[in-house]
Amino acid sequence: MSDTPIIDTDIHAVLNWQHVVECLPEPWRSRAAGGNRASGPLGYWNPNGVMRGDTKLEDGRRIESSAETLGEHFFDVYGISYGILNSGNLHAALSPEPDYAAALMTASNATIVEDWLKQDDRIRASIVVSPTDPQLAAEEIRRWKDEPGFVQVMMPSGARIPYGQRFYHPIYEAAREIGCPVAIHPGTEGSGISGPPTASGYPSSYFEWHTSLVGSYLAHLVSLITEGVFIKYPELTFVMVEGGVSWVPPLLWRFDKNWKALRQTTPWLEVPPSELVAKHIKLTTQPIEEPDDISHLHQMLDMFPAEQMLMFSTDYPHWDGDVPDFTARLLPDRLRNRVMYKTAAELYGIPVGVAA
């Protein structure tokens, strides 16, 4: 990959909490200064921790803690041309207190601008919003419409109701206005006002919880299509970050089959659901499935339009992340350039070569 541009669509910087607090107005500043970050994770134990163990530098700094260290010890080391920061407190976005959640999102986004976007031209970022109050989320999106470093809107994948429902449409309207895709990121399932992490309830271990996260992606995708989000907003793209890919073909087969029999219940869907998915849904590679026989993965990638839907991501610096050469080796030759940079460059308007 040494001569190929690389766009990483999922990087997790750690924001300076003190800076976030300073960006908050009262009464939220005093509350946050005392350490309250609103909703938090469920408390499952991961023996690997959350962050990779090799991100602590000899001087005590962590690579994910500043634009300077991320640039020198991640972008430069792995040849990353551009990267999308999906940072901010997504657990807090699911707080039952919508005003505090919205204030935390504003402060987090302001911190991203000052500490990250203004420090390295290779960095782009998501506007993180709380979906608990879509009107406030829409205001947050429009607040940053003139900040060119923001190229996406980010929401947690944990939710109270599926994301296709009209309750959320103000978010999609605002994203359409500023020309940004909307993305979701896993890890908040079961937090705050979201429902249980699985349709069956609460898992009893991190292993079970982590393995089951894709269930929320299936539900949101079906909801977005059947509720007609992309009929109402035909310019909108929805990015499903860190959800894997192998579940897509069998879901689309079931989806199209049921549409043939039940399309009367959603008369606005005039084409098979798979056509809308191919046009409006993007996926990221990490955590890409790793079968013992790599040809099985290649077969799955042949079963849906991966050349237009799939984008590379590392999930750096999380414990289960993937580096570029690892992912590139897993991909068939025909997909490598599309996945590693071209599709993301087109979606986010990033200035690297995008010839098909």
Q: Which of 232, 115, 254, 242 is nearest to 175 (CA)?
A: 232
- Percent of the chain topping pLDDT 90: 93
Where along the chain do its domains lie?
A: 7-348
Residue 155, φ and ψ in degrees, nearest 5: -130, 155
pLDDT digits (tens, 9 = 90+) for 102-149: 999 999 999 999 999 999 999 999 999 999 999 999 999 999 999 999
Structure tokens at 127: 């506007």
Place 2 in a pLDDT band, splitting at 50, 70 and 90.
low
| pLDDT at 356 exceeding the cut of 60 | no
In the CATH hierarchy, which fold is given to the domain comprising 7-348?
A: TIM Barrel (3.20.20)
* pLDDT recorded at residue 88: 87
pLDDT digits (tens, 9 = 90+) for 26-69: 999 999 999 888 998 999 999 988 999 899 999 999 999 999 99
User: How far is it, in rounded angstroms, from Cα 335 to Cα 299?
Assistant: 13
CA angle 112, 157, 299 (to 5 degrees): 110
pLDDT digits (tens, 9 = 90+) for 288-319: 999 999 999 999 999 999 999 999 999 999 99
Confidence (pTM): 0.97
Residues 6+ away with beta carbon under 8 Å from 24: 32, 103, 104, 107
* pLDDT recorded at residue 353: 63
Place 355 in a pLDDT band, splitting at 50, 70 and 90.
very low
Quote the mean pLDDT of the chain: 96
- Percent of the chain topping pLDDT 70: 98
Convert the chain into a string of H (helix), E (strand) and C (coil). Answer: CCCCCCEEEEECCCCCHHHHHHCCCCCHHHHHHCCCCCCCCCCCCCCCCCECCCCECCCCCEHHHCHHHHHHHHHHHHCCCEEEECCCCCCHHHCCCHHHHHHHHHHHHHHHHHHHHCCCCCEEEEEECCCCCHHHHHHHHHHCCCCCCEEEEEEECCCCCCCCCHHHHHHHHHHHHHCCCEEEECCCCCCCCCCCCECCECCCCHHHHHHCCHHHHHHHHHHHHHCCHHHHCCCCCEEECCCCCCCHHHHHHHHHHHHHHHHHHCCCCCCCHHHHHHHHEEEECCCCCCCCCHHHHHHHHHCCCHHHHEECCCCECECCCCCHHHHHHHCCHHHHHHHHHHHHHHHHCCCCCCCC
* Rg of the chain taking only CA atoms, in angstroms: 19
Residues 6+ away with beta carbon under 8 Å from 133: 98, 99, 101, 102
